Amino acid sequence: MQSLQAYVSRSASVLAASPRFQGQADGLASPQGSKSPDQDPKAHSEATATHSPVQDTRSEDSKSVLKCPVEATIFNPTNKTPLHIETKYGVIIKFDCSLVTFSIARSPVPFRTQPTCSSSTTLQPTPEGHVKIDADAITETTSPLAPKYRYRIIPDWQTTYFWYDANWPQNPKDSFQVDFEDIEERYPELCPFYEAWNELYETEFERRGCHLGVKEPAFEEKAESDAWLIEGFLLACWLAFREDIDQVQYVPGNTAYDINVENMGDVFGKFLVNLPDRF
């Protein structure tokens, strides 16, 4: 049986080859060995453009969901070189080769919540893959009376893939699916990235004729499928960090992953080991 390091190494190679995980982010430093926006006029032009991942007509490189591209050479389990992934919507994943553990945190960027009372928090990863709260770093506005939702992310053609957990008493009783309008209203920072992720699968599903009954995976290549599934997990992690969300269940196939701020590092490791052949 392969080690977790082997699965992480394979996943790093998959992300390094995926257009969705490449490109230079707006106004951020490039990885070692590539030009910064100040050094490269083309990169500077792209860096100052308005980001719109759903209706973006720029090159594929500039549509990356990461702040900086993933390079397969960055992760080296033999030399104990860690893997570091940070998305534009603020989810950070690190893999510690020595401890063989993941830590997942969020960038210190305030999330919009209900304007009732103020608190200052930031989330920092621990070596065990959990997240601890440290005060006095970011200011958020939260409501102690706001409902704590439980969501399920289940890909299903011609839906939003975003569902309420019907067994959770604080969820609405008159609806099962969360519409894009509700996603945008509650989570405007995430919505463009989530819609682009949803649209990618819908497009591939129809391009391959799956909607006509063709018994084939939506993605032709396993690497494409893996990258899309990993991105779905990162989106679920972003949601799980929200104070108005108790838990997110991600169901990419036959296995369900219950994700919350206490367990997401451990769950991500299990998720990589159990990635479906193709989705």
Q: Return left, alpha or beta for 221; rule: phi > 0 is left, psi -120 to 50 is alpha, else beta.
A: beta
Give pLDDT, residue 121.
34
The answer, yes or no, to whether residue 229 has pLDDT greater than 70, is: yes
Give pLDDT, residue 277.
66
Asked if 227 and 15 touch (Cβ cutoff 8 Å), the reply is yes
The answer, yes or no, to whether residue 272 has pLDDT greater than 50, is: yes
pLDDT (tens digit, 9 = 90+) per residue, 69-79?
Answer: 666 545 565 65
**Cα gap 125→123, rounded to integer Å:** 7
Q: What is the rounded end-to-end Cα distance, in angstroms, of the chain?
A: 22
Q: Which residues pair with 96 in a beta bridge?
A: 101
Q: Which residues pair with 86 in a beta bridge?
A: 92
Angle, in degrees to the nearest 10, between helices 264-273 and 222-240: 170
- Residue 196 banded pLDDT, cuts 50, 70, 90: very high
**Cα gap 226→112, rounded to integer Å:** 30
Least confident of 30-39, 177-186, 224-233: 30-39
Give pLDDT, residue 130.
43
Give pLDDT, residue 137.
38
Give pLDDT, residue 79.
59
The answer, yes or no, to whether residue 34 has pLDDT greater than 60, is: no
Sign of CA dihedral 165, 168, 169, 170: negative
- Residue 170 banded pLDDT, cuts 50, 70, 90: very high
169 or 28: which leads in pLDDT: 169
Domain boundaries, the chain: 4-108, 149-273
Quick check: helix, strand or coil at residue 105? strand
Give pLDDT, residue 71.
60
Give pLDDT, residue 47.
34
The answer, yes or no, to whether residue 120 has pLDDT greater than 90, is: no
Q: How far is CA 41 from the centre of its chain?
A: 30
